[in-house]
Amino acid sequence: MKLVFAGTPEVAVPALDALLASGRHEVAAVVTRPDAPAGRGRRLVASPVAERAEEAGIEVLKPAKPRDPGFLERLREIAPDCCPVVAYGALLPKAALDIPAHGWVNLHFSLLPAWRGAAPVQHAIMAGDEITGASTFLIEEGLDSGPVYGTLTETVRPTDTSGDLLTRLAFAGAGLLAATMDGIEDGTLKAVPQPAEGVSLAPKVTVEDARVDWNAPALRVDRVVRGCTPAPGAWTTFRGERLKLIQLALAPDRTELAPGRLAAGKNDVYVGTGSHAVELLWVQAQGKKPMKAADWARGVRIAEGEALGR
């Protein structure tokens, strides 16, 4: 089939690579978000998908909005059979959805209908899911509600951050998306409507969502930190300034610390929660680089009775 691939971040690159390597389909063009300011200089930078497409010599389309008439006209000229999508980042209008004969097929990082929305992996970890996965489905006008072509499952490991899990799903899902394109071309794959039961939503995780509540049980604190790493980054406050929490470990034997209360030893730092303590392993103070929590504690000289979240 002739394909136009839509995607933007690094997590979409493995799927583009898989389609380019398949040898079976032609990736005629790539659709991605416009260049965005990045880094300290805030200079405009192309998306990871745009950079990979340019390396491969593929036409890159960067509409400000997918309903732009110029973009829709170019898409009609290319006349793709199908448009595979991974984390494109913009809502597709019906005028765009109607162009390819086999529609737009999205690789979504959850087992639909669970975790429809922008942040399925983060929500799966924060909810304590033990199993998640990826799905390919036909995009309709509803939010991730279209019929499903295929799925794969992935175990959520006890120490997984959303970054860890998303990386594994990106590579496993790339194969699923390529196989879905093959099945659509062969006519061997039929999209199956999603069940009405089991729907859950995964909206974008905000900075406020990533603030740790030390009155919550240790398991919840751990899930929030892992689910919000690397983005938007779990955080708390110390002496009125923001402290980013990069990595911690459960410490079920320590139950004497009140929620938020700190206890710093020579080589370790513990903080109380609503159940038992957690050990801080890596943190990042405002304006500083990430550092081991014990080094941070020595630098700030934690006093008796001090706490996080204040």
pLDDT in tens, 67-116: 999 999 999 999 999 999 999 999 999 999 999 999 999 999 999 999 99
189 belongs to an annotated ligand binding site: no
Instruction: Reply yes or no on whether the pLDDT at 242 is more than 90.
Output: yes
Query: Which residue from 195, 66, 194 is spatially nearest to 136, judged by alpha carbons?
Result: 194
Residue pointed to by tokens 């304590």:
128
- Predicted confidence at residue 211, as pLDDT, reads 98
Q: How confident is the model at residue 40 (pLDDT cuts 50, 70, 90)?
A: confident
How many beta carbons lie within 10 A of that of residue 255, not counting itself? 12
What gap in Å lies between CA 80 and CA 103, rounded to an integer? 9
- Predicted confidence at residue 38, as pLDDT, reads 84
What average pLDDT does range 161-186 have in this prediction? Answer: 98
User: For the segment 177-194, what is each residue's pLDDT rounded down to a tens digit?
Assistant: 999 999 999 999 999 999
22 belongs to an annotated ligand binding site: no
Q: How confident is the model at residue 196 (pLDDT cuts 50, 70, 90)?
A: very high
- Predicted confidence at residue 41, as pLDDT, reads 82
What average pLDDT does range 225-233 have in this prediction? Answer: 97
Instruction: Reply yes or no on whether the pLDDT at 125 is more than 90.
Output: yes
| Percent residues over pLDDT 90 in the chain | 96
Instruction: Reply yes or no on whether the pLDDT at 247 is more than 90.
Output: yes
280 belongs to an annotated ligand binding site: no
- Predicted confidence at residue 248, as pLDDT, reads 97
Confirm whether pTM is higher than 0.85: yes
Q: What is the chain's mean pLDDT, rounded?
A: 97
Q: How confident is the model at residue 310 (pLDDT cuts 50, 70, 90)?
A: confident
Q: What is the 3-state secondary structure (H, E, C) of the chain?
A: CEEEEEECCHHHHHHHHHHHHCCCCEEEEEECCCCEEECCCCEEECCHHHHHHHHCCCEEECCCCCCCHHHHHHHHHHCCCEEEEECCCCCCCHHHHCCCCCCEEEEECCCCCCCECCCHHHHHHHCCCCEEEEEEEECCCCCCCCCEEEEEEEECCCCCCHHHHHHHHHHHHHHHHHHHHHHHHHCCCCCECCCCCCCCECCCCCCCCCECCCCCCHHHHHHHHHHCCCCCCCEEEECCEEEEEEEEEEECCCCCCCECEEEECCCCEEEECCCCEEEEEEEEECCCCCEEHHHHHHHHCCCCCCECCC
275 belongs to an annotated ligand binding site: no
Structural domains of the chain in order of their starting residue, each with its CATH number = 2-186 (3.40.50.170), 207-300 (3.10.25.10)
What average pLDDT does range 235-245 have in this prediction? Answer: 97
- Predicted confidence at residue 39, as pLDDT, reads 80
Instruction: Reply yes or no on whether the pLDDT at 42 is more than 90.
Output: no
How do strand 235-238 and strand 148-155 relate by DSSP bridges? unpaired
